[in-house]
Amino acid sequence: MPEASDPPKVESAAAEPDATVRLEQVAKPPKLPWRPRMLALVVLVVVVALMAIRSQFAPSALEPEMVHIPAGRFTMGPAPGEQERERVPALIWHRELPQHEVKFAKDFLLANYTVTRAEFSRFVAETGPRPPGGCATFEKDRNEQYGWETHEERDWRNPGFPQTDHDPVVCVDSRDAEDYIAWLNNETGLNFRLPTEAEWEYAARAGTKTARYWGEGRDRACIYANVSDLTLAKEQSLLHPNPEEYLPCGDGYAFTSPVGAFKPNGFGLYDMLGNVQQWISDPWHASYNGAPSDGSTWVSGGDEIFGTVRGSSWNAIPRNVRAADRSSSPTGFRVSDIGFRVARSLP
Ligand SMILES: [Ca+2]
């Protein structure tokens, strides 16, 4: 009798290690000591992290979201009576006149949002710091009074107020915008560009003829746009803000807001009014006399120093928050309420 503790004797072929098992045993690599295993794990983590960073910087990740703007025609400039009703000084009515027909033969693309700080910072990280030059910013002076002044130490990273990565980049002149677009085109292989002035207004109106793409009224501005409002008046400690300088509503932002924080227009474009003024490809023209009717960039007779900006901003007084409003700014001048958005032609 075997002892109870003895293992039972198995009289089968399985008791004999077969050839396959022997082969596996021979082929099995020796177990790594813990240090090389840790090293292998670290290498794996680094490789995965590098792949994630690479995909973030892949050309497709750099492409801005674009809205398809359909071909069509529209009347550029304010409807009769709008300037008077909005109390635009008669001295500058000519800027937005004459009203004229513009026809777009082809569809084109316009970015949903203005270029953000995060997007611009990628460009700067890869191409180097922007040339110095300062920026005109809206800040408190020695007497704690807000006002516009050029500060040599200000730039897109520090425009005189706090911003998130998703806020629009500001303190960028037209060369900054053109250099960004050249870099973006090189990275993506696509042909982005600044919008023409006619494209911008056609897209901003999105089929509307009213002063604003939400209608004529100023009272709904804070649903659709970050403008000079009661939030900015409070920041300036104004007890009785002038209704001609501050919209009678609160949009929640004294300075820039993250892009896309307000309702879009009928084409699905965000911040076409308010937040930041946007560089346009056309040089400044003092009126629309001689403007092209095909929506192309209007170069001839344009100002050699001043460029065109559209869309008003977080600092915009009510009468300037209109689709027809236009402004000029020196092309080499940076301001803390001017940014840009990109467009692209379709084949
Ligand atoms: Ca505001």
Q: For the segment 88-98, what is each residue's pLDDT rounded down to a tens digit?
A: 999 999 999 99
Which residues on adjacent β-strands are paired with residue 73? 103
pLDDT (tens digit, 9 = 90+) per residue, 52-107?
555 555 556 889 999 999 999 999 999 999 999 999 999 999 999 999 999 999 99
Centre of ligand 1 from the C-alpha of residue 329, in Å: 21
pTM of the model: 0.83
Distance 104 CA to ligand 1 centre (A): 33
CA of 285 to the centre of ligand 1 (A): 29
Q: Sketch out the chain's domains with CATH numbers.
A: 65-345 (3.90.1580.10)
Cα–ligand 1 centroid distance for 212 (angstroms): 16
131-188 residue pLDDT tens: 999 999 999 999 999 999 999 999 999 999 999 999 999 999 999 999 999 999 999 9
Rounded to the nearest angstrom, the distance between the alpha carbon of 152 and the centre of ligand 1 is: 25
CA dihedral 312, 315, 319, 325 (to 10 degrees): -20
